[in-house]
Amino acid sequence: MAASSAEDIRRNRGAFPFSNQRSMPVRLGQLRNSVIRLIYNLLWPIGLVVFLPGYLIKMFRRGSYRRKFGQRLGIYDAHLRTRLYWKKSFWLHAVSVGEVTIALKLARQIRILKPDQHCVLTTTTTTGFAFANQSAPDWIEVMYSPLDFWPVMRRAFATISPKAVILVEAEVWPNFVAEAHTREIPIALVNARLSP
């Protein structure tokens, strides 16, 4: 009887949680990532309170701090939401002028391959935003990058609704990547060096 029970268990191993030894490391890795992301999101508001004054001072010095500030919080005006609604865009994300230059070249190559493709280009800095606005053709929607806080990222992804995300250089943020993964949106990293 015992031998028969052991054989039944071996045959039906998939019916028992964590019985498949190969999937256990994957599940543990996912659990670890979820815990890390939870801690990150719990600490995020504290970090915002600590760093916000310096961030605002920096924005005041650079000027044009009010221009599209809501985009950093995932708040988009009705005209922008309407423009993005029907376009399944490629979302290119770049930090500043150097990365924006690369992103614009990449967007033009995508457009050659797919002539009707629209792109959204988000940038972190005011200088990158100004450069992108001056240089981007009308089929590229230039926006400020949303802050990497999960409710902000959820709103941004819901508005932009990209069919793919392309990150330029090593601008990888946990909630950005997690939201793309949750929505099963492919992510590519270009022109980046990652060290272990």
Reported as a single tens digit per residue, the pLDDT across 95-144 is: 989 999 999 999 999 999 999 999 999 998 888 999 999 999 999 999 99
What pLDDT, on the 0 to 100 scale, is given for residue 103? 96
Least confident of 42-46, 67-71, 77-81, 116-120: 67-71
CATH tag, 65-190:
3.40.50.11720
Other CB atoms within a 10 A radius of the CB of residue 67 amount to: 13
Rounded to two decimals, the pTM is 0.76
Cβ atoms 95, 122 nearer than 8 A: no
**Share above pLDDT 90 across residues of the chain, in percent, rounded to a whole number:** 48
Q: Name the residue among 100, 103, 74 with its Cα closest to residue 90.
A: 103
Cβ burial, residue 164 (10 Å; 0-12/13-18/19+): middle
Give me the mean pLDDT over the 23-28 stretch: 62
What pLDDT, on the 0 to 100 scale, is given for residue 58? 74
Average pLDDT, the chain: 83
Among residues 7, 99, 169, 179, the one annotated as catalytic is: 99
The amino acid at residue 172 is V
CA distance 142 to 83: 12
What pLDDT, on the 0 to 100 scale, is given for residue 185? 96
**What does DSSP assign to residue 145?**
P
**What does DSSP assign to residue 12?**
T
CA distance 168 to 161: 19
Asked whether the predicted pLDDT for residue 1 surpasses 90, the reply is no
What is the rounded end-to-end Cα distance, in angstroms, of the chain?
A: 51
Domain ranges of the chain: 20-62, 65-190
Cα dihedral 177, 183, 185, 188, rounded to 10, equals: 10
The secondary structure element, H or E, covering residue 24 is helix 24-62
What pLDDT, on the 0 to 100 scale, is given for residue 15? 45
184 is catalytic: no
Least confident of 13-22, 57-66, 91-100, 147-156: 13-22
What pLDDT, on the 0 to 100 scale, is given for residue 64? 60
